[in-house]
A and B are shown apart, each in its own frame.
Chain A
């Protein structure tokens, strides 16, 4: 490139940097997260079941995403053009999302039983009613994966044809720094709760932030360099907004996570006594896909690999190693380009193709 052209490009980029910098500083151009059109088909307390609007449906059964308890679900619908939900819709799936909302003081008594025996069965019934289907594919993300396993393993009427587990922790002894602060002899659950009875969102944010406290410096520098690029700024803002946007964790569920999952590592026994009965993880009847992120530092590979040994029928278990980290392997532009095509292909292989496609 000759000198004049380079100077011209640099001047143009400087102008764009100044414009985008002002917008960013004034928070004028907020990213459009969670923008895929949807309908609320069921609600109870703060939980809602959304069905996304789409064109012709090419695959049966519908896909129900069970989100994690510690983050906002719009990570899977981050922004138009790099939304996992949008990807699945375009591939021809009928997609529903079970979103837990923002827990408050009324949710402090929510335990795993509340989610597994009260919310999920009702949401699944509403999903059947809304879609007309009698079975579904369930995708659980992170702790949502644990909820999905427990539901599919403990409800005799759970017609889950495929259970896809994204970055789902089973071996909590391998969770490393994420849970180190609450191991036996360190912080007890009561010390984490605020007056609402929940773990405040900022405690969870600090837990994630402290994994790499200096990373923001390099991220801001990269933002500054790419500030001229609208696409980059939009993606950066969306991801930055989500990573700061945690939700409180209900106290009762936290107590179970700390006492049973972390301190006793109970899921590694293949069973968990919950709601007056023992749930056997191997009792899941459908196909199980254990999708693991290569560079996951929140749920390391070693923590999610046991899914492939413990959950469901050994004949119907599969494992998929995907590029990316805990978030980027399932969301954003990285997932859109690299991992979602593989996940979507697996879903299509394990679904029925509708010929002709069904209109909603």
Chain B
């Protein structure tokens, strides 16, 4: 490669080579992962993956429970339930705080911390 043709004359040859190599593979890869074909295939692959996980779970869950061990789906359900409960608690706490704020005099000054 002619050194005068390189973008940055101070950068070493090996670095230029890596940058050129990266662009050589990067351009087609970027074209592929931003194409309609990729985005059409992605949801199908993701759904397939979810189905596979569910399929495996249908076979393994009973075994886990047989030994009184929680299965992955049990943990997931529990986390979902906990999340719902957390949100309800948060909502109630906010409502309480807002009511308290509403009862306080409007002129109350809040000072910066620190």
Contact = CB atoms under 8 A, between A and B. Distances in A.
Interface stretch (A69-77, A183-191, A313-321): A183-191
Given A108-B87, A109-B87, A225-B12, A218 B43 contact: no
Interface of A: 38-42, 44-45, 51, 104-106, 108-109, 126, 129-130, 176-177, 180-181, 183, 186-187, 191, 195-197, 210-215, 217-218, 221-222, 225
23 contacts: A39-B114, A40-B114, A44-B94, A45-B90, A45-B94, A105-B82, A108-B83, A109-B91, A126-B110, A130-B112, A181-B39, A181-B43, A186-B39, A191-B43, A191-B46, A197-B80, A197-B87, A211-B30, A211-B34, A213-B26, A214-B25, A217-B26, A221-B19
Contacts of B21: 217
B11 A186 contact: no
A338 to B, nearest CB: 18
B71 interface: no
Given A45-B90, A195-B83, A225-B11, A214 B46 contact: no
Interface residues of B, number: 38
Given A40-B114, A126-B110, A215 B82 contact: no
B-side interface mostly:
helix
A129 B109 contact: yes
Contacts of A109: 87, 91
A180 B39 contact: yes
Given A105-B83, A212-B26, A215-B22, A186 B34 contact: no
B16 to A, nearest CB: 10
Contacts of A42: 110
Among A183, A187, A195, residue most surrounded by chain B Cβ atoms (within 10 Å): A195
Interface in B1-38: 11-12, 14-15, 18-19, 21-23, 25-26, 29-30, 33-34, 36
Contacts, number: 100
Interface of B: 11-12, 14-15, 18-19, 21-23, 25-26, 29-30, 33-34, 36, 39-40, 42-43, 46-47, 50, 76, 79-80, 82-83, 86-87, 90-91, 94, 109-110, 112-114
Nearest to A176: B34
B43 A195 contact: no
Q: Which of A38, A109, A221 has the most CB of B within 10 A?
A: A221
B79 A196 contact: yes
A288 B25 CA distance: 42
Contact of A105 (B18, B86, B109, B110): B86
Given A130-B112, A181-B43, A212 B30 contact: yes
A177 B114 contact: no
Given A221-B15, A221-B19, A225-B15, A177 B112 contact: no
Given A126-B110, A186-B43, A212-B26, 20 more contacts: A39-B112, A40-B114, A41-B110, A45-B90, A45-B94, A51-B112, A105-B83, A105-B87, A106-B86, A106-B90, A109-B91, A129-B110, A180-B39, A187-B42, A195-B83, A213-B29, A218-B18, A218-B23, A221-B15, A221-B18
